[in-house]
Amino acid sequence: MSATGRMIARARAIRAKAWVPYSGFKVGACLRTPEGALFAGCNVENAAYPQSSCAEASAISALIGAGKRRIAEVVVVGGGNGPCTPCGGCRQRLAEFARPDTPVHMADPKGRLLLSTTLGALLPHAFGPMNLEKK
């Protein structure tokens, strides 16, 4: 199985565990580091709605908690009509640890690839650490 195939499998598996009593919309995400380590996360909702976490944010927490610092590939598995693209906030979160050419794949709950693009295409002209550098 390809690295992307394994990532889809991990995202599907963790998606099944999502806590979504409010939206009913389960999402699983899997991140690959340049060394090939995989980190997955699901969305975790909260009765105080803004305190909910997206699947991508959960996966980033796992990656950072394991001492990793770079994201080389992203997979998101969600339901609904069409690809479950990362929300705006998660595009920014991913950009902290990925590059504009980092592949981002969206698959449906059965694991079928719906869209493959890049973080740069999802978040053009991103604000990043370079913006904070002093002149």
Least distance in angstroms from the C-beta of 8 to ligand THU:
15
Binding residues for ligand THU, per CB under 6 A?
20, 23, 25, 27, 43, 45, 52, 54-56, 76, 84, 86-87, 90
Least distance in angstroms from the C-beta of 12 to ligand THU:
14
By beta-carbon proximity to ligand THU, the closer residue of 20 and 126 is: 20
What is the distance between the alpha carbons of residues 43 and 22, in angstroms, rounded to a whole number?
A: 11
By beta-carbon proximity to ligand THU, the closer residue of 76 and 123 is: 76
**What are the catalytic residues?**
56
Is residue 95 within 8 Å of residue 130, measured between CB atoms? Answer: no
Phi, psi of 58 (to 5 degrees): -65, -40
Query: Got the DSSP string for 40-66?
Result: EEE-B--SSGGG-B-HHHHHHHHHHHT
By beta-carbon proximity to ligand THU, the closer residue of 38 and 59 is: 59
Is residue 87 within 8 Å of residue 95, measured between CB atoms? Answer: no
Least distance in angstroms from the C-beta of 81 to ligand THU:
13
